[in-house]
Amino acid sequence: MELKRIQDFLPHPDQLAMKNENVKVTITLSKESIEFFKQVAKKHHSPYQKMIRKILDSYVSHYTKS
């Protein structure tokens, strides 16, 4: 399998704060990921779930434009 490097299109954690209509889901994430988002969220006085949502929204936005 050949690997291909892609440009980083994800926003910096500091840029993760917007409101959208949400749907509640259950998801299991790694402890490392949750700890990262909790630390950054605490630093910026923001909910970590909002940051995770923004990352996923950015991913979807990037690939739906293609």
Q: What pLDDT is recorded for position 16?
A: 67
- Stated as kind and residue range, the H or E segment containing 53 is helix 48-65
Sequence spans of domains, the chain: 27-65
Instruction: Give 1-54 pLDDT, tens digit per residue.
Output: 888 888 887 877 777 666 667 889 999 999 999 999 999 999 999 999 999 998
Give pTM, 2 decimals: 0.65
Q: Which of 64, 46, 52, 55 is nearest to 8 (CA)?
A: 55
Residues 53/37, Cβ–Cβ less than 8 Å: no
Amino acid 10: pLDDT: 80
